[in-house]
Amino acid sequence: MGVAILSGVIASLQSRAFEQSFPKWESHTPGTTTPAIDTGDPSLPSRFIATVTRSESARKLQATLDALGGLGSSVDIVVGDNLRAVSEADVVLLCCKPQQAYSILSQDGMSDALTSKLLISILAGVTISQLTSLVLPTTKVVRAMPNTPCRIREGMTVVSSLPQSDDIELDRDIILKIFSSIGRCRFLDEKHFDACTALSGSGPAFACIFLEAMADGGVMMGLPRAEALELAAQSKGYMLILERHGTDGMEALQGAARMALQAGAHPAQIKDSVTSKS
């Protein structure tokens, strides 16, 4: 998910830079220069640092970022040195597995490195109180819960209410720019996160269950499997069934359907990516 967020932000920045460089009527023309980051807006990043634990992971991440072109190749990939990366950053996204949070945040020097910085955690089930117990009181801790369609920039992210600070409006703009680049973003109190996890976070898995069932029905009526899946995924009628759940639920359904339309994707695989312990 961390790679999906980083890729979405970079793609969004490159689109912004391209639109600034070319008039609207010629926006289809391929750019000839590398998009630059607009440093005049304090809510936009001027540098990206990505951390991994293994050299093999670094090579895979570099290949993914290079494929983005432009700003992708400028990301600084740090192997096995979270402290250095956090020390050099202003905004930190914690995108590890939930069970790794303690070892990362309790590392010697980490709490000092996070002083007065914005820490955004996407760890499911790890509460703000648990996170704040591992950092200094000056660290601004926020929870965010993106769902799997964020990988194709069709996601829904719920963000907890921001802690009071002199920079609260800037922090809000930063968060909106990050998560709006990979779909929709909405702020809600942390007390709603369990419900949002069931509806938005797990929604793509539920959607894929009946999406696959619809495709199976098409196969039973004689349609080829690939075409039956495409017809089911592209059908928007079934989304109206759950419209009463509101925006978050609809976004989860729409994102799941569009993921199923990707080459090589299958509802069962998408469901497993939501339910898998890994």
Nearest 5°: phi and psi at 222? 105, 0
Q: Which of 223, 222, 229, 231 is nearest to 270 (CA)?
A: 229
Report DSSP letters for 68-119, one per residue. H-GGGGG-EEEES-HHHHHHT-SEEEE-S-GGGHHHHHTSTTHHHHTTT-EE
Q: Which of 151, 119, 158 is nearest to 7 (CA)?
A: 151
Taking the C-alpha atoms of residue 26 and residue 32, their distance in angstroms, rounded to an integer, is 13
Taking the C-alpha atoms of residue 259 and residue 208, their distance in angstroms, rounded to an integer, is 10
Q: Tokens representing 142? A: 């926020």
Per the annotation, does 147 bind a ligand? no
Nearest 5°: phi and psi at 166? -65, -20
Task: Work out the number of other CB atoms within 10 angstroms of the CB of residue 16.
Answer: 17
Q: Tokens representing 107? A: 């590392």
Per the listing, tokens 């914005």 go with 118
Question: Binding site residues for NADPH, as ranges?
Answer: 82
Question: Binding site residues, as ranges?
Answer: 82
